[in-house]
């Protein structure tokens, strides 16, 4: 298919950004030139939170075509990774974990910190899971139930230079890389005070990015493309799928049936069949990217030369099914902390926070009752979505501990 270049004008700096893309699948919608080289992006509600080395920037992306900076918070050291939960941003700041109140996006402020080495951070429930390097503190579990006074409650060794972390259910998944070697370490965090390694997957070239969806870990494997690892048995992870990527594959994010991989380009993969991921489009970017995030059809990419780039996936609507009144309904009923469901065959249950963040996914079958896991879901209002071949349904669930 013929590809062509197109450009948009970034009004804030009057700098012209040119990317190459297949216009039928991916569209560069907007861009914002961050003050420094961006490292990581996390989107919550209408804001994109970006670390740029010197601190945290808050960017209003309610109008994707015209993103606007609304606030910033300078930080000591090197701001690497960011995770936002509710009104709090957690920043892995190399020498510490910084906790920032973002309830006023125009005035983010530090409210707490934990002095541990921190390359990457993922938050679930009342804990922040932090990965660093094997020669530092390795992997740490930090109790953040009191954001003003976070404290490390558990730790275990990491295998090498930690490059990314993702927490799903009772497990933390850490990618690590050193001298073109590394792998995926799976840590049981069901007891936060005593995390322990459950399994390990050795990967060539040293993986640099991880995203877990249901029973599969999607691993950005630097110079060796995207690898799909079945983690149904955490003690024995097995690779079941692979897709080559042009240039480096340094970060990955999964949303719906798509995986977005960044490095030297933005690649969009169809992962409807995890064992056979297929590249459906790509965009070159001006510099290099080490972070990607997606909400609905919009894909947020950090770029070393241009700042924050916002793309739109024009295939996103294809995941929606046409309504069919003859299809047997999926029956859902919610009580406190629980969701009763009745489906025909197997279905996918996805839980979203009130601000639209995907919290967890798992497979469900038949007629059962699902209980909200305390470790993954803090108190609050959540929206559940159950999708099967026969149909789909949504229901609100209130979680109280």
Task: Output the domain CATH number for residue 377.
Answer: 2.60.40.1220
Average pLDDT over residues 93-117: 95
Helix (H, G, I), strand (E, B) or coil at 209: strand
Residue 401 or residue 361, greater confidence: 361
Residue 331 pLDDT exceeds 50: yes
Q: Is residue 137 part of a domain?
A: yes
CA distance 336 to 262: 40
Residue 316 or residue 30, greater confidence: 30
52-72 pLDDT tens trace: 988 999 999 999 999 999 999
Q: Where are the beta strands (DSSP E) in 235-388?
A: 238-243, 249-255, 258-263, 265-270, 278-284, 292-295, 298-303, 307-313, 331-335, 338-353, 358-371, 380-388
CA distance 286 to 361: 34
The pLDDT assigned to 9 comes to 34
**Average pLDDT value over all residues in the chain:** 86
The pLDDT assigned to 58 comes to 98
- Give yes or no: residues 303 and 335 share one domain: no
Residue 81 or residue 94, greater confidence: 81
CATH of the domain at 13: 2.130.10.10
Q: Which two tokens stand for residue 161?
A: 């230079």
Average pLDDT over residues 5-27: 49
* Number of domains into which the chain is organized: 2
Backbone angles phi, psi at 171, to 5 degrees: -130, 145
In the chain, % of residues over pLDDT 70? 87
Task: Please report which confidence band the pLDDT of residue 180 belongs to, taking 50, 70 and 90 as the band edges.
Answer: low
- Give yes or no: residues 235 and 383 share one domain: no
The pLDDT assigned to 211 comes to 95
- Give yes or no: residues 350 and 250 share one domain: no
CA distance 29 to 51: 21
Average pLDDT over residues 282-298: 92
- Give yes or no: residues 121 and 146 share one domain: yes
- Give yes or no: residues 351 and 213 share one domain: no
- Give yes or no: residues 189 and 338 share one domain: no
Q: Is residue 325 part of a domain?
A: no
Q: Is residue 324 part of a domain?
A: no
The pLDDT assigned to 368 comes to 82
Q: Are 251 and 245 in contact (CB under 8 A)?
A: no
Q: Is residue 326 part of a domain?
A: no
Residue 15 pLDDT exceeds 80: no
CA 165 to chain centre: 9
Q: Which residue, among 363, 341, 84, 345, has the nearest Cα to 213 in the 3D structure?
A: 363
242-279 pLDDT tens trace: 999 988 899 999 988 999 999 999 999 999 999 999 99
Among the three residues 266, 293, 319, which one is the final residue of a domain in this structure? 319
Residue 6 pLDDT exceeds 90: no
The pLDDT assigned to 8 comes to 34
Taking the complete model, does pTM exceed 0.75, yes or no? yes
Q: Which two tokens stand for residue 353?
A: 């926070």
CA distance 163 to 252: 12
Q: Are 319 and 375 in contact (CB under 8 A)?
A: no
- Give yes or no: residues 377 and 242 share one domain: no
In the chain, % of residues over pLDDT 90? 57
Range of the domain at 180: 4-319
The pLDDT assigned to 322 comes to 38
Burial-class residue 345 by CB neighbours within 10 Å (0-12, 13-18, 19+): exposed
- Give yes or no: residues 353 and 230 share one domain: no
Beta bridge partners of 51: 40, 56
Backbone angles phi, psi at 400, to 5 degrees: -135, 135
Task: Please report which confidence band the pLDDT of residue 45 belongs to, taking 50, 70 and 90 as the band edges.
Answer: confident
Q: Which residue, among 399, 333, 394, 384, has the nearest Cα to 124 in the 3D structure?
A: 399
Beta bridge partners of 311: 28, 299
The pLDDT assigned to 17 comes to 60
118-175 pLDDT tens trace: 999 999 989 999 998 766 668 999 999 999 999 999 999 876 788 999 998 899 999 9
Average pLDDT over residues 12-31: 63
Average pLDDT over residues 336-354: 82
CA distance 398 to 394: 14
Residue 15 or residue 167, greater confidence: 167
């Amino acid at each position: 298919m013929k590809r062509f270049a197109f450009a948009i004008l970034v009004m804030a700096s009057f700098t012209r950004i040119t990317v190459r893309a297949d216009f039928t699948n991916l569209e560069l919608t907007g861009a914002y030139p961050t003050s420094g080289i961006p490292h990581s992006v996390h989107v919550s509600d209408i804001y994109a939170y970006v670390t740029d080395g010197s601190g945290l920037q808050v960017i209003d992306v309610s109008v994707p075509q015209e993103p606007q900076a609304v606030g910033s918070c300078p930080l000591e050291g090197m701001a690497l990774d960011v995770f936002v939960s509710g009104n709090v941003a957690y920043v892995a700041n190399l020498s510490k974990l910084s906790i920032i109140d973002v309830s006023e996006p125009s005035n983010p402020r530090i409210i707490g910190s934990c002095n541990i080495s921190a390359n990457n951070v993922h938050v679930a429930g009342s804990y922040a899971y932090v990965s660093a390097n094997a020669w530092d503190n390795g992997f740490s579990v930090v109790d953040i139930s009191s954001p003003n006074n976070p404290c490390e409650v558990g730790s275990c060794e990491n295998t090498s230079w930690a490059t990314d972390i993702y927490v799903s259910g009772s497990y933390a998944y850490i990618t690590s890389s050193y001298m073109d070697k590394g792998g995926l370490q799976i840590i049981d965090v069901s007891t936060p005070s005593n995390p322990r390694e459950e399994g390990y997957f050795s990967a060539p070239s040293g993986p640099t990015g991880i995203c877990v969806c249901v029973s599969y870990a999607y691993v950005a494997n630097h110079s060796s493309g995207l690898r799909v690892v079945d983690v149904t048995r955490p003690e024995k992870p097995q690779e079941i799928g692979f897709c080559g990527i042009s240039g480096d594959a340094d970060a990955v994010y999964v949303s719906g049936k798509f995986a977005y991989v960044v490095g030297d380009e933005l690649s969009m993969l169809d992962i409807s069949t995890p064992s056979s991921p297929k590249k459906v489009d790509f965009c070159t970017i001006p510099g290099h990217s080490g972070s990607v995030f997606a909400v609905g059809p919009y894909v947020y990419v950090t770029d070393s030369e241009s700042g924050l780039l916002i793309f739109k996936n024009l295939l996103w609507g294809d995941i929606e099914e046409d309504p069919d009144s003859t299809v047997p309904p999926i029956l859902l009923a919610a009580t406190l902390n629980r969701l009763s469901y009745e489906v025909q065959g197997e279905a996918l249950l996805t839980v979203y926070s009130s601000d639209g963040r995907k919290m967890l996914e798992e497979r469900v079958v038949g007629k059962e009752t699902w209980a909200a896991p305390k470790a993954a879901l803090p108190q609050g209002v959540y929206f559940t979505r159950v999708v099967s071949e026969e149909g789909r349904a949504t229901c609100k669930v209130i979680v109280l501990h």
